[in-house]
A = this chain, B = another copy of it.
Amino acid sequence: MSQLIEKCERLKEATLGLATASTKVKNQALILVSKALEENTPFILSENEKDIAVAREKGMKESLIDRLRLNHARMQGMIDAIETVVQLKDPIWQSDQVWTLENGLTINKMTVPLGVIGIIYESRPNVTVDAFSLALKSGNGILLRGSSSAIHSNLALVRVIRDGLAKSQISPEVVQLIEDLDRKVVGEMLRLNEYIDVIIPRGGAELIRFVVDNATVPTIETGTGNCHVYVDESAKLEAALDIVENAKVQRPGACNACETLLVHEKVASEFLPQVAARLKDKVELRGCSQTQQLIQVNPATESDWAEEFLDYILAIKIVNNMEEAMAHIRQYGTKHSEAIITENYTHANLFLRGVDAAAVYVNASTRFTDGGEFGFGGEMGISTQKIHARGPMGLKELVTIKYVMVGNGQIRE
C-alpha cells in the first residue's frame, strides 16, 4: 500500500466520525488548534525560515518570497480566521426544504458533509490553515497537497494542527498532508474516487488545466479571472476612477483584479486622460487604436484582451455602447467578476442580468469577490465553474445533501 493510500485510508475512517460530530465538539477542536498555533508560533516561523532560505538559494523573485513568508502578524491572521470560523453557523444537518407526499411519506432535504476534500494549492501557507478550518467546521476530512516551496511551513503547520486536534474529541487523522513532492502523486490523487469526494485545484492556469484533464474525481475549478470594468456613458467619472484604480492596483496578483478597462466612446476623451494621470508610473497601459489617439499607451494586441496579466498592466478598449462592452466580455472574459460603472438604471439591470459571471457588479470594485469580504471566514477557493458552487467557496459550499425519508410503511403503487 502506497503512503498516499495509507493516508487516505486513515482519513476516510476518521472522517466517518467527523460527519456527525456536534457543533460544540468541532468548535472546541478549532479553538484547541488555534491555541496550538499560537503556542507554537516560534517553531512554525523557524520552519518557514527554511523554505525562505531554499527559495533564496533558488533565486525566487522577492515578491514571491513575500507570499511564502510567515511572521507574527500573519500567524495572528490565521488564528483570527479560525476564530471567525468558530463563530459561523454550522452548515451541517440543516434543512430549508421539507415536504410530505400524498401518501404521508415525509421528505427532508438535509445538509451533510461532502466527505473528503482534496485541495491542491500553490498559494501561501495560510491556505493550509484556512482549508483545514473550513473543512473541519463543515464536517469534512481534508487531504492537502501544497507547493514544494512551502513544504517545511506546511509540515510544521499540519503537525501543530494535529497536535491541537489530539487534545480534542476529533481525530487528528481528519487532516493529512501529502509529503511526497513528486508530481506523479498529484496524478494518482486525481483518480482516487474511492477516497476523495471532491478535488479543488487552487493555483495557476496550468495546474487547473492539468487537474481538469486528468481527474476522475469530481472537481471544482477555481481561479482564472480575466475581469473587466466597463465605464458607461452615464458613469460618475470620479467614482469610476477610484474603482478602476482599486480594481487594478490594490492587489494585481489576485484573480478578481481588473485586467481590461472598457470605456464608452462618449466619455473616453474626458475619462482616459484621468486614468492615465492616476495610474502613471504604477501601471503599464495597453490601448486599442482609438485609445492610442487619446492618451500615451502601448498598443494592445489581440492576445492582451484574453490575458490575465496578474500584474501592473491594464488593457484599455473604447466601445460604441454597452452592447459592445458585453459582447467583448462574452468573448474574452472568464466568467469571474465583471463590473459596470453607470448611473443609467436600465443599463445597470441589463448588465447584471445579461453578463454571465460568478459576480457582476454595478458601481463597485471587482475586488470584493472574496470569501473573507463576503463574510465566509476565508474561502476554499473561488469557483469559476457552474456546477456545485460559483464564486467564493465558504462553509455552505462544502456540503452536499441527503434526502431523509420518514415513512410508516409506504410502498410505491
Q: Which chain A residues have a beta carbon within 8 Å of chain B's beta carbons?
A: 19-20, 93, 96, 99, 101, 105, 107, 112, 114-115, 193, 197-198, 212-213, 216, 218-221, 236, 239, 242-243, 245-247, 250, 352-354, 356-365, 367-369, 373-375, 385-388, 390-391, 400-412
Contacts and interface: CB of A to CB of B under 8 A. Distances in A.
Contacts of A19: 356
A93 B197 CA distance: 29
Task: For the complex of A and B, list the 4 residue pairs with the smallest distance between their C-beta atoms, beginning with the closest.
Answer: A364-B407, A246-B411, A239-B409, A367-B412
A58 to B, nearest CB: 33
Mostly helix, strand, loop or mixed at chain A's interface? mixed
Interface centre among A245, A375, A406, A410 (most CB of B within 10 A): A410
Contacts of A368: 101, 105, 405, 410, 412
A235 to B, nearest CB: 10
Given A213-B216, A363-B407, A364-B105, A390 B401 contact: yes
B387 A198 contact: yes
B197 A386 contact: yes
A409 B243 CA distance: 7
A385 B218 contact: yes
A218 B216 contact: no
B387 A114 contact: yes
B96 A409 contact: no
5 contacts: A247-B411, A362-B405, A364-B408, A367-B411, A373-B412
B216 A364 contact: no
A365 B410 contact: yes
A101 B361 CA distance: 14
A364 B246 contact: no
Contacts of A246: 411-412
Contact of A361 (B114, B198, B242, B405): B405
Contacts of A362: 405-407
Contact of A405 (B96, B193, B364): B364
A388 to B, nearest CB: 4
Given A358-B402, A360-B405, 6 more contacts: A105-B364, A112-B356, A239-B409, A352-B404, A360-B402, A364-B409
Contacts of A375: 99, 101
A268 B349 CA distance: 65
Contact of A220 (B93, B242, B387, B401): B387
Contacts of A352: 404, 406
A115 B250 CA distance: 33
Contacts of A359: 402-405
A80 to B, nearest CB: 16
A238 to B, nearest CB: 8
B219 A365 contact: no
A158 to B, nearest CB: 25
B411 A250 contact: yes
Given A198-B387, A373-B101, A409-B242, A115 B356 contact: yes
B386 A390 contact: no
Nearest to A406: B362
A340 to B, nearest CB: 11
A122 B373 CA distance: 46
A242 B410 CA distance: 9
A387 to B, nearest CB: 4
Contacts of A243: 409, 411
A385 B215 CA distance: 14
Given A101-B373, A386-B197, A410 B112 contact: no
A360 B354 CA distance: 40
Contact of A400 (B112, B386, B402): B386
Contacts of A213: 216
Nearest to A359: B403
Contacts of A105: 364, 368
